[in-house]
Amino acid sequence: MEITEVRIKLMEDSEDRLRAFCSITIDHCFVIRDLKIIEGANGPFVAMPSRKLSARCGRCGNKNHLRSQYCNQCGARLRGMQDLRDVEGGNANKLYADIAHPINQECRDLIQQSVIGEYLLEQERAKLPGYKSRYDDEYAENSSTSDASKPAGNAPRPNMLDRNQSSPTADQSVANQSSTDNPVAPRDFGTGIF
C-alpha cells in the first residue's frame, strides 16, 4: 500500500485541540476523507473518520444519539440505559465508531507519518502570500478547476466510456438526443439544480 496524496485543511483559530482536517489517497485510486489532526500531549496525531453511535428509543424504536435526553421521534424522556435498547456496537460507554481505520500498527504508522509530515509542510505553505488549501479541490474529472491545478498522471478509469473515443452509434444517439430532446448537454448534467 502506498499513500499517493495527502490534502490538508488547516483550522485557523481553533479553540479546541483540532488542528486540521485531512484526506488521503491510497494507490491513486481510493480516497479517505475527514481524518482529523488533533494536538495531543505528545504532539499532533491522526484520528480516523468517525460517526456518533446511536441507540433505539424503548417507546417508539427510533434511533437517537447516545446520551440524548429526549427521543427525536416521540419526545419521550430517555432516563438512561433502561430506556435504550439495541445499542450499536454493543458498548453503551462508547460514543463514536471509526468509519475507516487501519487494522495493524504498520499501516497506522504509515498513515501517521505521511499525514503529520504533510501537515507540517502545509503549515509552512500557509505562511506564504496567496496560500490556498487544496483540500476542497475536486478529485473527479468533472472539476471546475483549471487543468494546471489537477494532479498530473491521472490514470484512466476502468469500464468508463470515454466521450472522445466512443463508438459511432453512441455518438450519434447522444448527438441526436442532445440536439432535439434535451437542451442540456451530457457534460452539463445536473447544472442549475441548486
Backbone φ, ψ for residue 22 (5° rounding): -150, 150
Are both 59 and 87 inside the same structural domain?
A: yes
The answer to whether residues 22 and 89 belong to one domain is no
pLDDT of residue 117: 95
Q: Is residue 175 part of a domain?
A: no
Q: How far is CA 130 from the centre of its chain?
A: 26
With respect to residue 144, please indicate whether it lies within any of the assigned structural domains. no
Q: Is 163 a member of any domain?
A: no
- Is the pLDDT at 120 greater than 70? The verdict is yes
CATH number, domain of 106, equals 3.30.1120.40
Which residue segment(s) compose the domain that 121 sits in? 3-49+99-126
- Does residue 114 share a domain with residue 40? yes
Confidence class for position 158, pLDDT limits 50, 70, 90: very low
Residue 105 is assigned to a structural domain of this protein: yes
Q: Is residue 117 in some structural domain? A: yes
The pTM of the full predicted model, rounded to 2 decimals, is 0.59
- Is residue 32 one of the residues assigned to a domain? yes
Q: How many CA atoms lie within 13 A of 34 on its CB side?
A: 6
Mean pLDDT, to the nearest integer, of 36-57?
90
Domain tally, the chain: 2
pLDDT at 52: 82
Residue 154 region by backbone torsions, left for phi larger than 0, else alpha for psi between -120 and 50, else beta: beta
SS3 labels along the chain? CCEEEEEEEECCCCCCCEEEEEEEEECCCEEEEEEEEEEECCEEEEECCEEECEEEECCCCCEEECCCCECCCCCCECCCHHHEECCHHHCCCCCEEECCCCCCHHHHHHHHHHHHHHHHHHHHHHCCCCCCCCCCCCCCCCCCCCHHHCCCCCCCCCCCCCCCCCCHHHHHHHHHHHHHHCCCCHHHCCCCCC
Average per-residue pLDDT for the chain: 74
**Domain boundary residue, one of 87, 111, 126:** 126
In a domain, 161, yes or no: no
Cell numbers found for residue 19: 488542528
The grid coordinates of residue 12 equal 485557523
**Does 8 fall in a domain?**
yes
What's the confidence (pLDDT) of residue 29? 93
Same domain? 36 vs 9: yes
User: In percent, how much of the chain has pLDDT > 90?
Assistant: 38
